[in-house]
Amino acid sequence: MSERLHKLAGFARPLRTRLLAIIALAVFSAGTAVAAANVTYTVNIVDDGVAQEVRTVKTNAQDILEQFNIEIAPEDRVDTSSFTGADGSKIVISRVHAVTVVSKGEKIAVRAAGTAEDAVDAAGIVLTSRDNLDCRADAPLTEGMTIRVLYGHTVSITADGVTSTYDVQGDTVAEAIQGAGIVLGPDDETYPAADTVLTDGMSITVGRVTYQERSVENEAIPYQTIEKSTDSLYEGETKIETAGKDGVRNVVYRDKIVNGEIAESTVVSEEVLQEPVSQVKLVGTKKKYADIKLKSNTPISGFATPDWLEFDENGQPINYKGIIEGRAAAYTGGGHTATGKVAQPGYVAVNPNQIPYGTELYIVSLDGSYVYGYCIAADTGGFASEGYFTVDLYMNTVSQCYQWGSRMVRIYVL
């Protein structure tokens, strides 16, 4: 029994030593963990493109931003995808900016943080695989930045005699030409014009433009025609009063040549050798009236026809000053006219603003049934203001007035 106790006692000593070693290791490890928690490391903070390197013991990105008094607005974006809590960690801050997105000529103001692509999204624009931007899609936003959306179009371009189809991006014909790799000369033109808004399927032609001068001797200067109205001719009749004659000049032209053909010429200088003579053409204003076939040659007027008044084969005056055609009524009843004359057949009522009192007239009906004959404007009446009748003819009796009624007449102004 004493021997077994001795062995047990010998075993107990090593066991106690191992327990002390374990306790000592635990204490050492705990101290090491505390020390590791207080070790600083490097974090790279990129704030709107500006980088700064900081050292911290914080292991939370938000705590680090607060530690260095970096404020984050509600619209700002913080990217912690590269933050690991160890050396080499990165925190990227994208600040919100006011930018303009231009789409098909429309300017859209937005506030966005991040990249150009984010601003386009904020503008509510959905891009297709054919569309692009005038900057990199991942370009960081800056305050006041303008981003243009370049929409894809399929267009047909004819240049130098060759027509090809191109897929281009842009808003205007000029951008389509550039996108197709076609180089324009300083004077070249496009049809439609370079600033025309692109549409899908548009056909565009490039005009290669050059200029050159040329001289022409003894070139005709076309005469001008001057028209003069005359009552010596009937309406529709014309007559050359003075014949026109071309002039002669020596002239230098500047030709605009588009795709090998003269499209426009301007005069650079000229020497007139002979002035042109203008042609003078007379244009008739005299109204031509239809012939009247008289069915009666007995005048109603009581006045004798003057000897100086001449007539044609139809019994119509030929030496008159003018003709008026209008509607005539008839009246009777005696008394005196507006000019004080005793009312009688041969004195007629008129509108004195149209036919002055005292004017000598010769009146026949257009249908040839009646010849009122030679008469004088001496009276007026209410009809003059109504404008329905041109003349009111005095008759001897009421029955004659009823028989006349209302009819169209031709009034020869003598």
Check whether 3 has a pLDDT greater than 80.
no
43 within 8 A of 63, measured Cβ to Cβ: no
Q: How much is the pLDDT for 364?
A: 95
| Three-class secondary structure of residue 272 per DSSP | strand
346 within 8 A of 378, measured Cβ to Cβ: no
365 vs 408: CA distance, rounded Å: 6
- Contacts for 56 with CB less than 8 Å, ≥ 6 apart: 40, 41, 43, 64, 67
pLDDT band, very low/low/confident/very high, at 171 (cuts 50, 70, 90): confident
pLDDT in tens, 335-394: 999 999 999 999 999 999 999 999 999 999 999 999 999 999 999 977 766 678 899 999
Phi and psi for 64 in degrees, rounded to 5?
-65, -45
267 vs 283: CA distance, rounded Å: 34
Q: How much is the pLDDT for 14?
A: 37
Check whether 230 has a pLDDT greater than 60.
yes
Between residues 90 and 26, the one the model is more confident about: 90
126 vs 118: CA distance, rounded Å: 11
Check whether 36 has a pLDDT greater than 50.
no
pLDDT band, very low/low/confident/very high, at 314 (cuts 50, 70, 90): confident
146: β partners? 100
Cis upstream peptide for 306 (omega within 30°): no
Angle at 137 between CA 134 and CA 138, to 5 degrees: 135
Phi and psi for 306 in degrees, rounded to 5?
-60, 150
pLDDT in tens, 46-80: 999 899 999 999 999 999 999 999 999 999 999 99
252 within 8 A of 214, measured Cβ to Cβ: yes
Q: How much is the pLDDT for 37?
A: 54
52 vs 91: CA distance, rounded Å: 10
Across 266-281, average pLDDT: 96
373 vs 299: CA distance, rounded Å: 5
pLDDT band, very low/low/confident/very high, at 289 (cuts 50, 70, 90): confident
For a pLDDT cut of 70, what percent of the chain falls above it?
Answer: 90
The secondary structure of residue 172, as a DSSP letter, is: B
Q: How far apart are the first and last CA of the chain?
A: 181
User: With b meaning 16 or more CB within 10 Å and e meaning fewer, what string describes 165-178?
Assistant: ebebbbbbbbbbbe
Whole-number average pLDDT of the chain? 87
Check whether 132 has a pLDDT greater than 70.
yes
Catalogue the E-assigned strands of 151-292. Answer: 152-159, 162-169, 189-191, 203-207, 209-221, 225-234, 238-242, 247-258, 261-274, 279-286
Q: How much is the pLDDT for 182?
A: 95
299 within 8 A of 374, measured Cβ to Cβ: yes
Check whether 229 has a pLDDT greater than 80.
yes
Residues written for the chain: 414
Q: How much is the pLDDT for 16?
A: 34
Q: How much is the pLDDT for 136?
A: 93
pLDDT in tens, 350-367: 999 999 999 999 999 999
Catalogue the E-assigned strands of 5-76. Answer: 41-47, 50-56
389 vs 241: CA distance, rounded Å: 40
Max avg pLDDT among 12-16, 49-53, 286-290? 49-53
- The strand pair at 347-350 and 371-379 is best described as parallel
pTM, full prediction: 0.49
Please count the other Cβ atoms lying within 10 Å of the Cβ belonging to residue 263.
Answer: 12
Across 207-230, average pLDDT: 95
Q: How much is the pLDDT for 92?
A: 94
Q: How much is the pLDDT for 10?
A: 36
Q: How much is the pLDDT for 214?
A: 95
Q: How much is the pLDDT for 49?
A: 87
Strands of the 279-286 sheet, one edge to the other: 225-234, 279-286, 238-242
Amino acid at 111: R
